[in-house]
Amino acid sequence: MFLADTHLLGEITGHWLDKLRREWQMERAFQTALWLLQPEVVFILGDVFDEGKWSSSKAWEEEMARFRQMFRHPGHVQLKVVAGNHDIGFHYEMSPYKVRRFEEVFSSDRLFSWKGVNFVMVNSVALEGDGCGICSEVEAELTEVSRRLNCSREVPGSSQCAGGQQLPASAPILLQHYPLYRASDANCSGEDAAPPEERNIPFQEKYDVLSREASQKLLWWFRPRLILSGHTHSACEVLHRGGVPEISVPSFSWRNRNNPSFIMGSFTPRDHALSKCFLPLEGTVLSTYCAAAGLLVVLTFARLECLASPFLSVWTLLRMHMAR
């Protein structure tokens, strides 16, 4: 199960009514999906929080408590999260403290192998390419993961691949917040794609999408068979060099779009199948609540009237008897 951009509201810009309404909707949607679809692993592709980049220690703990409540899950379900720019800040806002705080909760693992399938979890915010300390550390971790994955596909006995745990010989799936470079959403379509008036707006490298250089590095390092990303809040399917497909997962929050969705996936070491699941339109949800509330009021008044009628009859008879 793949979600993106939940954007749990913070104390600075988040109105209490917005938190109450949108986050209750997200919680019910997530819990219903868990019960109905029973995924084994849930991936959230960044921007879990709206104000993680600004949050004080106290605010972070409060936001984490809300996250744990909303996205609670049985022990047999694994939850994996990659960092987004709202979680740790854009590159110019990112700090070792924010990254460490995030990874202490959600893990710093870059590689997750499950039933013969390799998932690479990329901190795409750190792929700035300017040699910053965090950027260099992330790139070193990714190159090591790349080496291990490449060794799993090489003939056994290679001198560079001696020792270490052997990974499944399966082309990996990249999971990240920023999409790989594309000029815009002009070629994206579907009911949950960006609005037509926004699709031709050029994307800015290192802000809306990864740079060309970082995108080429990831494709070269990992030779993935599939890429899943978030960040744009809208759906898109892109074919990159070598026919590598990338799916941009829309936001899971009604605050960001009126028709949120998530993706369910089934994976084997060599194949995969994806299905998109839509949440109800927010207007439909509100209309249903209003209709239910109106019906409850009508039934309540009808019930009160039924109860009142016998008492009125008895009172009338008593008055007639007293008048005699």
pLDDT tens-digit readout, 148-178 = 898 887 755 555 676 667 888 889 999 999 9
Indicate whether 314 pLDDT > 60.
Answer: no
Residue 107 is part of a domain; what is its CATH number?
3.60.21.10
Strand order in the sheet with 111-114: 111-114, 117-121, 173-175, 226-229, 244-248, 236-240
- Are residues 271 and 305 both part of a single domain? no
Domains identified in the chain, total number? 2
- Are residues 243 and 324 both part of a single domain? no
> What is the mean predicted confidence (pLDDT) over 68-75?
94
- Which tokens belong to 292? 């239910």
Comparing CA positions, the residue from 117, 134, 133, 116 lying closest to residue 125 is 134
What domain range includes position 304? 282-324
pLDDT tens-digit readout, 211-270 = 999 999 999 999 999 999 999 999 999 999 889 999 999 999 988 898 999 999 999 999
DSSP conformation class of 88? H
- Are residues 143 and 213 both part of a single domain? yes
Burial class for 86, CB neighbours closer than 10 Å (0-12, 13-18, 19+): buried
- Are residues 316 and 174 both part of a single domain? no
Measure CA 262 to chain center: 8
> What integer best gives the mean pLDDT of the chain?
89
- Are residues 83 and 175 both part of a single domain? yes
- Are residues 143 and 189 both part of a single domain? yes
- Are residues 187 and 70 both part of a single domain? yes
Q: Across-strand partners of 226?
A: 173
- Which tokens belong to 119? 């998932």
Question: What DSSP letter does each residue of 93-150 carry, written as one string?
Answer: T--HHHHHHHHHHH---SEEEETTEEEEE--GGGTT-S--HHHHHHHHHHHHHHHHHH
- Quote the CA–CA distance of 208 and 203 in Å, as a whole number: 6
- Are residues 286 and 270 both part of a single domain? no
Q: What percent of the chain has pLDDT over 70?
A: 89
How far, in Å, are 24, 27, 39, 84, 134 from residue 293 at the CA level?
A: 17, 21, 33, 39, 52
